[in-house]
Amino acid sequence: MRCRSFCAVALWGVGILAIVPFRPSSQVWAQKGEPPTEETFSTADGVILRGLFYKAVQNTASAPVVVLLYPPGQRGAETDMTKGDWEGLARRLTLEGYNVFRFDWRGHGKRGHEIKDRDTFWTNPYTGPWNIKYVSGFGKKPLKNDIYFKDIRDPLRYLPVYLLDLAAVRAHLDNKNDLGDCNTSSIYLIGAGTAATLGMAWIVTEWHRPAVAPGLGELVPAGRYEFVPQRILGGIKVAAGEDISGAVWLSPHRPSIVSETLAKSWISNYAPRMRDNNPMLFLYGDGDAQAQRDARFFFQEVLVGAGNRSLGLLPLNPKYLFAIKGAKNLSGVGLLGNNATLQTEDTIVQFMSAIQKERAKVTRRQRNYSAAWSIDLRFFGFTP
């Protein structure tokens, strides 16, 4: 599989330097296509989330899925999936042949989220310690049954819990995959700001989980798959990380809750296959010094962009680290919505199209997961 990302780089690296043909702004794209469907799904710790699913304009069942991630945890900004031109990007991608999924992180959005299973939310061993420590309402009678952003006392320290939201998104999409509504054998992530860090951390966890639910007798102890990384008799035959086609990070930001040491360990200790099997494009405005520093850190330090002969790592294409010209003070989702000038959407589509040339024959397969799984956050270096 190592060839995959390098071949994609070679294809895309030539195109990105060419003169990009003019395309309409994403607001124009947003006027086309059928409206998305609102869907609800549950996290392993009992929170009911909401998302929007946009169908590809053709061949929906075999089309890849793109998950859009806005940065969670921004106090005072009422962050939700309506901010910025995610809608325009979603519409553009459906016309390019991708299914698209957007969602609100727990507690975000204008309506908050229901806590369906209150006992699990507060007492489960995976997120319970974070929920008790950082979400207001524990110990009240009756137990709190909803979560709003105002309830999160320390949004920064609560960030690791959002990995369970991503796991729930994957479980939901796998269920749609099994119904023939999309193809989760090819999943892309596009995230902004802190969502880039969360997205990378989540991809790491996917390399510790089987792509298909183990059958009875495979688990130790016997039963359904419940958490990552749950030990499986005979080991993982095909890791879920192989389904991640690639990722695009807009003005990536590493929050202080994720130390440089932890981030660097993602390749060296946790998921060495992520580097060469999950290509990542880092985009930032040419005047955004902070985003440029964080992007270079992820590219050079975490992904070892220069390569390492002693470890058998070939250099990554430097075009994976890409400054958007003329962006001035724009960052994150602000880089979207002005494609005629910035060509951000064109750059994203070119990057993904090069990868899809290699993944065009990847077929959909049944996943058979009955529910979302938890993530052992402590195993992956997080502490409440």
Cβ neighbours of 238 (radius 10 Å): 11
The closest of 363, 331, 380 to 163, measured between CA atoms, is 380
Q: How far apart are CA 177 and CA 190, in angstroms?
A: 20
pLDDT score, position 104: 95
What mean pLDDT comes out for the span 103-107? 95
CATH superfamily name and code, 2-108+157-375: Alpha/Beta hydrolase fold, catalytic domain (3.40.50.1820)
Q: Identify the pLDDT of residue 81.
A: 64
- H helix intervals, the chain: 2-15, 26-29, 86-95, 118-123, 128-134, 162-178, 194-206, 260-265, 274-277, 289-296, 339-342, 344-359
* Cα-trace Rg, the chain: 20
Q: Which residue has the higher pLDDT, 242 or 21?
A: 242
Mean pLDDT for all residues in the chain: 89
Q: What is the DSSP letter of 33?
A: S
pLDDT tens string 20-72: 444 444 444 444 568 999 999 999 999 999 999 999 999 999 999 999 999 99
pLDDT at 9 over 90: no
- Residue 53 contacts residue 39 (beta carbons within 8 Å): yes
The whole-number pLDDT of residue 130 equals 98
- Whether the pLDDT of residue 157 is over 80: the answer is yes
Token code pair at residue 114: 């229901």
Single pTM value for the model = 0.92
Q: What residue segments make up the domains of the chain, in order of their start? A: 2-108+157-375
pLDDT of residue 122: 95
